[in-house]
């Protein structure tokens, strides 16, 4: 069980780093933390909003935002995958 806990902690740390990367891009461009959190939630909730539209709307570099949101999506998927290994029954999210 401790091995699984270690995997969860590593996945959680990666997720936090990915969230902070998105927030950093947004904050460096003079946008509010709320804008960053909205972009993070867009990824976490599986929204299909256009990254290009978000970048243009908030005046962010498209390539940097696309990379950061891609890393966030990967970290979120990995975190959920590790958590699913701990679950022994049905879960409603």
Domain encompassing residue 45:
4-83
- Six-digit token string for 93: 């999210």
Decide if 21 is inside a domain.
yes
Decide if 17 is inside a domain.
yes
Burial of 30 per CB tally in 10 Å (0-12, 13-18, 19+): exposed
Q: What is the pLDDT of residues 38-73, one digit of tens each?
A: 889 888 887 667 888 888 888 999 999 999 999 999
Q: What is the number of other CB atoms lying within 10 angstroms of the CB of residue 25? A: 21
Decide if 93 is inside a domain.
no
Decide if 30 is inside a domain.
yes
Check whether 1 has a pLDDT greater than 60: no
Provide the number of structural domains found in the chain.
Answer: 1
CA–CA distance, 65 with 46 (Å, rounded to integer): 16
Q: Which of 4-8, 14-18, 44-48 has the lowest mean pLDDT?
A: 44-48
Decide if 27 is inside a domain.
yes
CA–CA distance, 46 with 25 (Å, rounded to integer): 20
């Amino acid at each position: 069980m401790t091995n699984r806990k270690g995997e969860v902690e590593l996945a959680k740390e990666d997720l936090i780093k990915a969230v902070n990367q998105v927030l950093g891009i947004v904050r460096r461009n003079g946008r509010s933390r709320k804008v960053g959190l909205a972009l993070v939630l867009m990824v976490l909730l599986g929204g299909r909003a256009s990254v290009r539209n978000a970048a243009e709307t908030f005046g962010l570099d498209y390539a940097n935002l696309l990379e950061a949101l891609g890393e966030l999506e990967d970290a979120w998927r990995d975190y959920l995958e590790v958590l699913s290994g701990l679950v022994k029954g049905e879960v409603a999210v």
